Structure 1
Amino acid sequence: MWKVTDGIGREKTAGLEVGGRKVALMVGERTRDGWRVVGRGVAVADGVRNGRIVSVPRVGKSIEAAAAMVEDAFGVGLPPVLVGISGNHFCSRSVEGFVSLPHREMRSDDVRRLKEVVLSGIDRRNDMIHLLPLEYEMDDENSGLANPLGKSGKKLAGEFLMLSASAAHRNSLQSARRRAGLEIKGMAPSCLAGVKSVLTPDEAEQGVVLIDCGKDVTDMAFCYRQRVFHLESMDYGAGRVTAEMSRKLQTSANEIERILAGPYRQKNAELQVRTYGPHGTHLLVRQEVKSLLRKCLLAYLREVNRHIDRSFSRNILLMGAVLSGGGALFPEIGRLAELVLAMPVQTRDAGFLSVKDDKQESPAGPAWATAIGLAELALFGNDDTKGDLAWL
């Protein structure tokens, strides 16, 4: 495990999210009860467009600004970071393998040997960032095993989820972090981080899909029997909602966000919007904004629903869906998602934010799910990127 300790031996890790809207950096430390956030920094994501890094120097400056905020405001040194990868920069597929064994009780080195056999048959291993176990099988009989240790048999087979990342995107992230003076010790799909920070073990056991509603991309992680068995991504982010509303109302996306975050939520407030037209500012009818928001959200959610159908896993998602990311903050998105997806939908905070020597903790909204989850994965996961990722 990668780690940095302070003067009294407390282990620290960090997670870095480079999103379409913000660069977020979280530093966590291990405690007797688990872990807590001890530093956080955020900066505008400059140099990122449609989920892709278009300017390494500008992204590097954004990362540097977030890192400076952590060090200046919280007095926390920065350990090596686990970086999130989202969108079509990563992909997943199922791989299988088996090994013959002497007839005895299964040991951890047998599982390790099985992974080596699986890895030996994988092309382009340099693109792989994680190999997650799905299930094991003993002697073609005991199938669906989550953990084969302690079982006896002559043959051990296993199915794994292989996660690969685009070499070009990884190189861009490496270049950006070098400009910011950070050390990267690993990478992971951003939606796995959301699984760690948002979902409960019961949801992951009974079947659930985490939908990370980012600005430019939407990532989905499908969980069942406490395993991530499928990842899905679409180049259609929640930012399309504000973009379409701004086009219809002839104003900026920032102005739409201001209205939805403030006046729209106040029942009797006037909805004044600054437009590009010759009249400057004019009043909007609340029902007009509500109708337009509903139309744009429904278009976005129908696209999400199409990707869920493509996963062929709807019948095992007994716990429905959980929304995270900045798009989960849209008014009424939860209710509309239940109508479109035809399943229970929740929007949940990603734990709590706290700082060192501060007894007050504040809820971390859905927009912080990825950064918090990355810090937690870095703390409790495995630093061997060719091995397991202990996300639960």
Structure 2
Amino acid sequence: MRQQVTAARRIVVKVGSSSLTTAEGGLDAARVAALVSALAGTGGREIVLVSSGAIAAGLAPLGLAKRPRDLATQQAAASVGQGRLMHAYTEEFGRHARTVGQVLLTVDDVTRRAHYRNAYRTLRRLLDLDVVPIVNENDTVATQEIRFGDNDRLAALVAALVEADLLVLLSDVDALYTGNPADPGSRKIELVSGPADLDGIAISTPGKAGLGTGGMVTKVEAARIATGAGINVVLTAAPLAAAALAGEPVGTLFTASATRPSARLHWLAHATAARGRLHLDAGAVQAVVERQASLLPAGITSVDGAFTAGDPVDLVGPTGVAIARGLVAYDARELPPLLGRSTSELAATLGPSYDREIVHRDDLVLLH
């Protein structure tokens, strides 16, 4: 038995489209019922379900043979399918005397701080009321520029948001393998304790049903995000959900990092998209990385982007590699006259309000 799993009290479970639908599109009632039965049998543990399947569930009713490529038709399919998906979950959880609540998120809901806090309050209150939140990306309104891209990443961010103890990623592959699971020479990986355990492993195996957007790459990336937030992760196939939640040694276990970082800094590192770039000289890179100092104007050589105060920006070293991300204290148009100058000089010439950091240490996270 896996003690990390059996000790978990708050669990986020993510299920992919191919695990809920037929190859032709439309929900598979037996698969939905089996998943719900596994989740409802977890005793007094809190469950948040991140569920794909809205677009796939809308294909058959719209007479579409396969997942559409254009965003407008995807959104139309999601509009039709989301209601069918929630109806199926409501009916099945109802058989176990459980109430469900729909939570649709866009990237803005986890990248903008006010939205992030509101999403947390909503999910926290649903759990307090013994409701099972059913989370999905709001495909009907999300634009191409503000999409998560896959629900694996969304699930990892939701797990960090609700401070979960465990993330379970369910798909149509029973574990992580050293290569394509169909190859006789591929070996199942039972435990991943750190990045070194993935050296030399091919992780680009796509889902078999072809109805989702993610493959094994997105699941491993989601596991990296979640374990970095101090959350254990189990990756396995949907039919093994009950066994995984019971702590049986199925699938692949990714063990959490020893410490749980600040939720705010984890959000900054993984749930934000940089609105611009601040180019640093070597001295500033050393101050930020080694001395964990705030970023001052003297160490900035140039600025890219059209951002405003409070936006996330990447801090880029002389080699062009982003070394950190932070919330900038100035608009982009304000910065050029300040670059390369000390704060004491700026305060003397422009006023005491300029005696401050460009990015404060408390608003900055290093990128690895």
Superposition TM-score tier, normalisation by shorter sequence: under 0.3
Q: TM-score, normalised by structure 1?
A: 0.22
Q: Which has the higher contact order (CA 8 A, sep 6+)?
A: 1
Structure (1/2) with the larger strand percentage: 1
